[in-house]
Amino acid sequence: MKGNKSEFFTSVIKAFATAIVVSLAAVLVFALIVKITGLGEAAIKTVNQFIKVISLFIGCFISLKNGAGLIKGALVGATYCVVLYLIFLIAGSNSFSAAFWLDILFCTAIGAISGVITVNVRAKA
């Protein structure tokens, strides 16, 4: 049983780390695009959500396997959102509002969906 817990948390940590790296790379590329094109704030918010979805899916797809996709994915999504929020707090943003809770729910749901899809796709392969 101890090996199962270790594998469970190791896969969640790997998926989280992968999602953060993908997110960082995507944000850097998008920041360059915004600087060059001068996109509006509405486009930035939309692309930011898209980056979260893609990052969580890629993190789950690369790292999760062997069942419990819903729980693992939800943990990846929630951890991803909380850590990003903490990074923004350290960087000087101090907005703690209802939007934060909605973002946690969004990331948790996306992570859970990604985990379920990933585990089921891998089971059929």
Residue 53 has pLDDT above 50, yes or no: yes
pLDDT value of position 1: 44
Written as one string, the DSSP assignment of 15-36 is HHHHHHHHHHHHHHHHHHHHHH
36 is written with which tokens?
Answer: 């060059």
pLDDT exceeding 70 applies to what percent of the chain? 92
The domain ranges of the chain are: 2-124
Mean pLDDT of the chain: 87
Residue found under tokens 């993190």: 59
pLDDT tens, 19-42? 999 999 999 999 999 989 988 888
Confidence of residue 57 (pLDDT cuts 50, 70, 90): very high
pTM of the model: 0.86
